[in-house]
Amino acid sequence: MLIEKIKTPGLSHLSYLVGSGGEAAVIDPRRDCEIYVDKARAAGLEITHIFETHRNEDLVSGAPAVASMTGAKVLHGPNSDGDVVYADTAREDDCFAIGQLEIRVLETPGHTDDHLAFALFDSAYPEKAVGVFTGDALFVGDVGRTDFYPDRKEEVAGRLYDSLQKILALGDQAIVYPAHGAGSVCGSGMAEREFSTLGHERLNNPRLQISDRAAFIRAKIEENHYQPPYFRLMERLNLEGGKPAPRVMRPSTVALAQLRKLDVDHVVDVREPMAFASGHFPGAISLPVGMISAFAGWFIGEGDSIALVASDQSQLASAMEHLVRIALDNVAGGYVGVVPAAAQGERMRSIPMIDTQEVARRLDEDGSDWTLLDVRDADERASAAIDKSQHIYVGHLNERWAELDRQRRYTLMCASGMRATVAAGWLDSKGFERVDIYLGSMGAWKAGKR
Amino acid sequence: MLIEKIKTPGLSHLSYLVGSGGEAAVIDPRRDCEIYVDKARAAGLEITHIFETHRNEDLVSGAPAVASMTGAKVLHGPNSDGDVVYADTAREDDCFAIGQLEIRVLETPGHTDDHLAFALFDSAYPEKAVGVFTGDALFVGDVGRTDFYPDRKEEVAGRLYDSLQKILALGDQAIVYPAHGAGSVCGSGMAEREFSTLGHERLNNPRLQISDRAAFIRAKIEENHYQPPYFRLMERLNLEGGKPAPRVMRPSTVALAQLRKLDVDHVVDVREPMAFASGHFPGAISLPVGMISAFAGWFIGEGDSIALVASDQSQLASAMEHLVRIALDNVAGGYVGVVPAAAQGERMRSIPMIDTQEVARRLDEDGSDWTLLDVRDADERASAAIDKSQHIYVGHLNERWAELDRQRRYTLMCASGMRATVAAGWLDSKGFERVDIYLGSMGAWKAGKR
Amino acid sequence: MLIEKIKTPGLSHLSYLVGSGGEAAVIDPRRDCEIYVDKARAAGLEITHIFETHRNEDLVSGAPAVASMTGAKVLHGPNSDGDVVYADTAREDDCFAIGQLEIRVLETPGHTDDHLAFALFDSAYPEKAVGVFTGDALFVGDVGRTDFYPDRKEEVAGRLYDSLQKILALGDQAIVYPAHGAGSVCGSGMAEREFSTLGHERLNNPRLQISDRAAFIRAKIEENHYQPPYFRLMERLNLEGGKPAPRVMRPSTVALAQLRKLDVDHVVDVREPMAFASGHFPGAISLPVGMISAFAGWFIGEGDSIALVASDQSQLASAMEHLVRIALDNVAGGYVGVVPAAAQGERMRSIPMIDTQEVARRLDEDGSDWTLLDVRDADERASAAIDKSQHIYVGHLNERWAELDRQRRYTLMCASGMRATVAAGWLDSKGFERVDIYLGSMGAWKAGKR
Amino acid sequence: MLIEKIKTPGLSHLSYLVGSGGEAAVIDPRRDCEIYVDKARAAGLEITHIFETHRNEDLVSGAPAVASMTGAKVLHGPNSDGDVVYADTAREDDCFAIGQLEIRVLETPGHTDDHLAFALFDSAYPEKAVGVFTGDALFVGDVGRTDFYPDRKEEVAGRLYDSLQKILALGDQAIVYPAHGAGSVCGSGMAEREFSTLGHERLNNPRLQISDRAAFIRAKIEENHYQPPYFRLMERLNLEGGKPAPRVMRPSTVALAQLRKLDVDHVVDVREPMAFASGHFPGAISLPVGMISAFAGWFIGEGDSIALVASDQSQLASAMEHLVRIALDNVAGGYVGVVPAAAQGERMRSIPMIDTQEVARRLDEDGSDWTLLDVRDADERASAAIDKSQHIYVGHLNERWAELDRQRRYTLMCASGMRATVAAGWLDSKGFERVDIYLGSMGAWKAGKR
């Protein structure tokens, strides 16, 4: 008997392989899904069922591909806007045996209408559930977003409240297996810890401390969430069933001469932010490899062609993996080596880093042609902000850059300098030439006050 | 924050790497312990504490080696018979911070006098323990053995009862992290499942259903356990601190000519039982690679020199790993290729496999020179046995073979034929020439009745 | 600049990845070909050309799949019987640049009519070829077979002679990169060593010591080679372009109950021969995993459905890989665990191993109902044989078993006992019940004489 | 039979595992040497001999460690200044059998007095050598340095000439197995290609085109080579036998607070140069991970304590490996995350990148307080240089920085900007505050002219 968590960094996505007695189930598989089949068979298990907690909006499901490799049945919740093409509909109390294990369906709408949770029982130790796959309903330290149906905000928040009561009724002893961990775009308050139980959540999860249904609804409605444009693409692909991932998860490599000729929609520099700032191809945008999952979907549209620029081949491969998982993988080529390109005569652009002292000096100076632009999210901004700074969320710069003035000087800031670099790179690619980055950003500002 | 289970097959030993905020702890490390340091550092953690739930009797601790690689402090329970040389003594309610995590000591004697459990708290979510490392006190589906102090049987069973109450008092929500899973020699009733919580155990673990202390003691006293001779070696090494594992976990390879010249205490054939039965070097004993952890300690003594015979190099490497972990690793060489040896003129011995039909025929015949020898353990024997069969536990053949008669015919049986082959190989190596194996054994016997 | 040999065990197939200046070529890729694309890109190279030395008869080409993953061009020699669908035709002296390297085509018919060799030059060090890809024309220690055109034996042997002179004219300094190493079915005299040069071959290769063309032709004509039936399938697939390999190279796992229900053409036991002999499913044939490449194509026909029986999951995966590479991969399921099956009541068959003493005794006895059946190849048989033994090549038993008499006793022998077990298993599956295996076989016989 | 090249990037060091018939030899093992023993045994070989072509000056030998793991004999050439403690002395024509292979010693002084080459014969194909391990005598495209005995320049160059004739006499057919490839500090003219033969070198290697002994000596004497200070440490360790590599090749990880407290001799930033330029800890020097092998030995002295700063854990591990191989591995800790440190209030320093336009502008301006400092090597400098630039080799800045003036402005340049960043980092750490880097450097300058 096994339960193995397969974690996808970047997305902070958690999927699970559960097996017993030669049979296995996968919960919420990702697009590059050979790993589930390979691990299952290496353990002497054959995947017979694929359970999806809901139609994911932040990644492409691997369920159709796993089903085609194994013949397994896909189970999905009821959808009002049409059936998931590759799946059967599972309903409350449906039961599925995986060897000696039993998986029982709980309808748990709220985050999405079709959301299911799956309670896990061991038929040899049958008293109460041993665990529960909570999808995006319940996380460690947080509960699911309820902002996907703007017209029905209160209703869906209330439905989530009810769903959580249903889940909690499984008992304190049940281990919680959520679909995301800290860092996911599917929640902002998740704990860094990835192991918990219903009992521990009942006692500690801040959202579960709100016992009153109405208060819970009010709290949820007040939350700020962002919906990057690629969410709609994910939703459509996860209804229709997306194409399988490429067989080799590396982009084709291109030389400088070829790179120059590629006529792509985006040159995406995936090196670390400080390297990008020091020098990058004119027109390139900055999406450090670890930030692709969270931010690529703001700046890259469906089908957009991409050239990648990286520090080394393994970074290229990682970038490709992240892009494949969100189906923004129309990658025409990958190039390694910015210094070598410079040594072949390629002009590079750079963006200066400035420090707290300089920011403070400029604030004091109060020059009318300079803006300190804070790109953090609304919650961070609400908790503390530098006086006189202005605010546009980094993701919103995908469209709102047009509101800015190319003649002005802008210093980009966030919590540390990472998102500020992404923002600065975006403006730089749009022809803003008087941009710099506050290295350390809000963290440094606060530390400087001490 | 991470908690990673490192599982050692064969021993069914579970150790844990726990980390937060750049710091990490290891619970019950095994001897080949680079894995803990490597995994910790790969995750940006430095091991600062090593916790031992008790002085292990079935494997060599890697605590002194991890400590010497990292400078971490080793914590161990109080020992009446002298201090663990490489460790500090931890006491009830001692607390240790690992980043944002907190580990709190519970003295939980019973399985051994020095046994500790470690409750795990997350200081950011402080209501009750999120988990507990239960060592050999509480397993999934079973509790620890209490047969190590034969003079104090009732006392220690009672102490275990009390310790379990103390552990259960942590609450249903706590995840159970035991030191062993199914297949370990440290318990016979463990569930195949390796994930559970105190709540699920409280409701399902058969031993925890006995609410009466006296009844619990009676049940424990009636259990049958075996203590292979190497337990005493482990205990001594784990008091003194054993030598580190070799840097390369493969035996030196030897050619046939060299193998012939090696004057070793044991030629150990680690191929699968059926291959051994078909042909093996005269004098070789059978310890299939997956059975080494459980049975080598019965037949191989401290310091005994060993030659290994395997099907391929990776099997040799696995065999070596198993032997290193129990410090029976004085391996003079490893040889691959029984068929090639035969083709060089080496005589091989074989042991026939017989089936249910033949066993039934012989039983009917009731020949006076034949014995059906059942080598299962006492519990298996008690639950069902073939009439007229005799019983010696496989491990006890290490000495009790001398009671048998080389002139008689013996058919070895167990539950399937695996341990029967080990037993047959042992007798074969002692000069018994009229031995065969009941393939399928008790399983086939029962199936045949249907 | 790199040249990397990718070796496929079993087939003893050698393919090559050659790269320079961001570009790469593959020579003779195998069917499971992601490895070439992955390795190339990991090294910053993009595959632009795929060179095939000839239409392989012993494995499925990966050229069409690599081409479809990379857009690379496939180059193949001229075929009289129709064009290779996925390739362009390369001609004598055609040149292709791979970065700073240059690949020049030599038409080298003989082994096959379409055979090419590829001389490798480094344009920065341009004096003479640095290496040559010799395909199946020239091996280390041997030259190619010339038995594929039975009507034109002398002609093609002569053409090979001429081709070899053309290759040798590249100079002693050229490193030899052949398509096969020792163990391949494409030659019997290959050296175990896989590195050589034209100079070293010119001085040492036995076939190249025959300076006279007519003598060379005579020598080639006298050679004995076998053509397993699957060669024709390979040739057709390599003309048309076969299907890509499965994305996960493990068979689906089946439990015993499912195995019983599978109605397959062959149950193939891939465990080591001695384990098979000790016990196997009735009807199963023996193809130890390392012998699949050489012998499966004799016993398994195109499209035949297969169930695999193995010792463990990794053995199943290896077996699958071997089968995929020769397109005999209609595998309905893989099962692990013969002893467990026996313990569930499954009857097993066994085949005894006998030794030199017993063989000698039977030969002396000269019983009229017993045959010592030698299954080695004709060359081995010619060099030494046991008096009174009979001869059928192991591969020919696929049809010639019908000539044998189920009432007789047969002892199978080969050089060691490996092929004898394959042969014994085949007869056993055809209902021969009085079969045994001479363990050690000819090797033991000779050693016994000493 | 196998010959496997084990390549060490950074050092561009090539070592070899050679095996046949169960026995193996290693040629020129590196310090982290488990790989040889593991690979040998995985292939069924036991290492019996270790051959050293010479006392390496650029890396720590793993010969003593391999010998202690396997009992193998170490063979080394004759040393006038005392014996290599862990080795036996091999002499001209000594022969050693490795299974069916034979290794024959050639004394080949020149690069060093103790230098040996090892000719490789296959006793089954005995006509002439199949290969030769040429150490640092002969490379692909170059020959060894002869600058290690400044008082005997002509003598040793002449001895190398004679040694090369001896090697070439083995015949065109011999494959060349050198101890280094392109990128090594042991030669500047090596081909990027790592495969060649004596015949191909005889025809193409520029140094072997000089047929006249006196002309060869003149050419060698005119070469420019650099001897980083750590060469002396390597030589001493390789006489005495260095300590084994650590069992885990990762530095201990430290948090920012600990990093601040470490009182180390060097904070070494191993991130890519552009990231360093954008921001780094005050006092840190820049040694990008791929440049450590070549440049650490200039700036870090024996026993110096080090803290590493990296982009991620795998970069830390790579840096550690490089340092271990040259015994500059007194690493007190490794830290990941410059942006996070900035966000905790750590001040960072940055060094601007400037482009060709700006360099040209400054050159035109001819300001008296500015120097364009070229840190390339003497050969590069001789081939082309920018007017008015000054020259100090990057390695010589370890001492010659003291000649420079902290009040002046310096722009560092090399061929591309990589070494310029190392140089700029060194000056920055010495308190130079008016330093910048010419991104693209000589390459960009030349491209700009076009």
Per-residue pLDDT tens digits for B381-438: 999 999 999 999 999 999 999 999 999 999 999 999 999 999 999 999 999 999 999 9
Q: Which residues of C touch D139 (CB under 8 A)?
A: none
ipTM for the complex shown: 0.95
Q: Among D276, D342, D415, whose Cβ lies nearest the Cβ of A439? A: D342
**Rounded Cα–Cα distance for residues B370 and B373 (Å):** 9
Q: Smallest CA–CA separation between B356 and chain C, in Å?
A: 9
Q: Which residues of C touch D124 (CB under 8 A)?
A: 191
Q: pLDDT-based confidence at A242, cuts 50/70/90? A: confident
pTM: 0.96
Q: Which string of b and e fits A219-240 if b means at least 16 CB within 10 Å?
A: bbeebeebbbebbebbbebbbe
Q: Count CB-CB contacts under 10 A for residue A73.
A: 16
Q: Which residues of C touch D128 (CB under 8 A)?
A: 199-200, 203
**Rounded Cα–Cα distance for residues D423 and D414 (Å):** 9
Q: Among D246, D250, D253, whose Cβ lies nearest the Cβ of B22? A: D253
> Which region among A115-119, B380-384, C362-366, D262-266 has the lowest average model confidence (pLDDT)?
C362-366
Backbone angles phi, psi at C388, to 5 degrees: 75, -10
**pLDDT at residue B80, rounded to an integer:** 75
**pLDDT at residue D346, rounded to an integer:** 96
The proportion of chain B whose per-residue pLDDT surpasses 70, expressed as a percent, equals 100
At position A122, the amino acid (one-letter code) is D
**pLDDT at residue B449, rounded to an integer:** 64
The proportion of chain C whose per-residue pLDDT surpasses 90, expressed as a percent, equals 93
**pLDDT at residue A346, rounded to an integer:** 96
Please determine, for residue A98, whether its predicted confidence score (pLDDT) is greater than 60: yes
Question: What's the distance, Cα to Cα, between the start and end of chain B in Å?
Answer: 53
Mapped onto helix, strand or coil, the DSSP state of residue B413 is strand
Task: State the chains in contact with A (3 or more Cβ–Cβ pairs under 8 Å).
Answer: B, C, D
The low-confidence residues of chain D, meaning pLDDT below 50, are: 450
Per-residue pLDDT tens digits for C367-386: 789 999 999 999 999 999 99
Per-residue pLDDT tens digits for B110-122: 999 999 999 999 9
**Rounded Cα–Cα distance for residues D101 and D121 (Å):** 6
Contact B404, B376 (CB under 8 A): no
Question: Are the Cβ atoms of D274 and A273 closer than 8 angstroms?
Answer: no
**pLDDT at residue D80, rounded to an integer:** 75
Taking the Cβ of residue C43 and every Cβ of chain D, the question of whether any pair is shorter than 8 Å is answered with no
Q: Which residue of B has its CA nearest to C353?
A: B278
Task: State the chains in contact with D (3 or more Cβ–Cβ pairs under 8 Å).
Answer: A, B, C
Q: Which residue of B has its CA nearest to C343?
A: B440
Residue C210 CB-density burial (10 A; 0-12 exposed, 13-18 middle, 19+ buried) = middle
**Rounded Cα–Cα distance for residues D46 and B336 (Å):** 13
**pLDDT at residue B187, rounded to an integer:** 76
> Which region among B239-243, C432-436, D77-81 has the lowest average model confidence (pLDDT)?
D77-81
Q: Checking phi first, is residue B22 left (phi over 0); if not, alpha (psi -120 to 50) or beta? A: left
Taking the Cβ of residue B19 and every Cβ of chain D, the question of whether any pair is shorter than 8 Å is answered with no
Alpha helix (H) residue ranges in A266-312: 273-278, 292-299
Taking the Cβ of residue C252 and every Cβ of chain A, the question of whether any pair is shorter than 8 Å is answered with yes
**Rounded Cα–Cα distance for residues B448 and C137 (Å):** 59
Q: Count CB-CB contacts under 10 A for residue A362.
A: 18
Q: Among A44, A252, A336, whose Cβ lies nearest the Cβ of C70? A: A252
Taking the Cβ of residue C10 and every Cβ of chain B, the question of whether any pair is shorter than 8 Å is answered with no
Report how far apart, in Å, the C-alpha atoms of A153 and of each of A112, A136, A235 are.
11, 17, 19
**pLDDT at residue D30, rounded to an integer:** 97
Contact A92, A105 (CB under 8 A): yes
Taking the Cβ of residue D56 and every Cβ of chain B, the question of whether any pair is shorter than 8 Å is answered with no
Q: Among C41, C70, C247, whose Cβ lies nearest the Cβ of A313? A: C41
Please determine, for residue B450, whether its predicted confidence score (pLDDT) is greater than 60: no
Q: Average the pLDDT over B143-158 and give the result.
A: 96
**pLDDT at residue C137, rounded to an integer:** 98
Interface mutation target, options A17, A23, A46, A48, chain C, most CBs of C under 10 Å: A46
Question: Are the Cβ atoms of B202 and A20 closer than 8 angstroms?
Answer: no
Q: Among B345, B418, B442, whose Cβ lies nearest the Cβ of C339? A: B418
**pLDDT at residue C70, rounded to an integer:** 97
**pLDDT at residue C449, rounded to an integer:** 63
B185 against C198, higher pLDDT:
C198
Taking the Cβ of residue C354 and every Cβ of chain A, the question of whether any pair is shorter than 8 Å is answered with no
Q: Which residues of C touch A21 (CB under 8 A)?
A: 255
Per-residue pLDDT tens digits for C413-432: 999 999 999 999 999 999 99
Please determine, for residue C187, whether its predicted confidence score (pLDDT) is greater than 90: no
Q: Smallest CA–CA separation between B129 and chain A, in Å?
A: 8
Q: DSSP class of residue A367?
A: -
Taking the Cβ of residue B352 and every Cβ of chain D, the question of whether any pair is shorter than 8 Å is answered with no
Taking the Cβ of residue C34 and every Cβ of chain A, the question of whether any pair is shorter than 8 Å is answered with yes
**pLDDT at residue D449, rounded to an integer:** 63
Per the prediction, chain A carries an average pLDDT of 96
Question: Are the Cβ atoms of A248 and C336 closer than 8 angstroms?
Answer: no
Please determine, for residue C153, whether its predicted confidence score (pLDDT) is greater than 60: yes
Q: Domains in chain A, please, with CATH?
A: 2-240 (3.60.15.10), 256-343 (3.40.250.10), 353-449 (3.40.250.10)
Taking the Cβ of residue A352 and every Cβ of chain D, the question of whether any pair is shorter than 8 Å is answered with yes
Question: Are the Cβ atoms of C193 and D141 closer than 8 angstroms?
Answer: no
Taking the Cβ of residue D197 and every Cβ of chain C, the question of whether any pair is shorter than 8 Å is answered with yes
Q: Checking phi first, is residue B185 left (phi over 0); if not, alpha (psi -120 to 50) or beta? A: alpha
**pLDDT at residue D142, rounded to an integer:** 96
Taking the Cβ of residue D418 and every Cβ of chain A, the question of whether any pair is shorter than 8 Å is answered with yes
**pLDDT at residue A449, rounded to an integer:** 63
Please determine, for residue C450, whether its predicted confidence score (pLDDT) is greater than 60: no
Q: Which residue of D has its CA nearest to B255?
A: D22
Interface mutation target, options A5, A7, A98, A125, chain B, most CBs of B under 10 Å: A125
What six digits make up the tokens of B28?
């019950």
